Amino acid sequence: MNVDYVGIMHVVVLLIVLVSAYLAIKLKNLLSAVLALAVMSLLLSLEFYLLHAPDVAIAEAGIGAGLTTAIYVLAIRATRHLEGGA
């Protein structure tokens, strides 16, 4: 029997994308939320690569996982690390 490995990979990657997106919304520590967002972005670029769009995958990995994470961390440096001013 032939197993659809690419289909299984799609399901696994998209499930982890969902989990990390939920964590990015729910985490109270802003630095952890930004890291969850970076993980979501990196896995989204993997999903773009699986869907045969390597062009979009390079842009997503460079902008989403690299630069916006750096900019968010720099912005959080100037404020409190917890949501809600605790």
Partner 1 sequence: MMAMSKIVRTVSNLLYFFILIFGFYIVMHGHLTPGGGFQGGAVLASAIALIIVAHGIEKAKKFYSEFSLTSCESLGLVLFISLAFLGIFMTFFYNFLSPGAQPAIPIFSTEPPLGPNLGNLNTGGVIPLMNIAVGIEVIGGLGAIVYVMFRGGKK
- Taking residues 5 to 44 in sequence order and writing x for each that binds partner 1 by CB under 8 A, - otherwise, the string is ----------------------------------------
- Our CB check for partner 1 shows the closer of 55 and 83 to be 55
Q: Distance between CA atoms of 68 and 45, rounded to whole angstroms?
A: 14
- Our CB check for partner 1 shows the closer of 26 and 77 to be 77
Member of 12, 15, 51, 71 binding partner 1 (CB under 8 A): 71
SS3 state of residue 53: coil
Instruction: Render the burial of 42-57: b for 16+ CB within 10 Å, e for the rest.
Output: bbbbbbbbeeeeeeeb
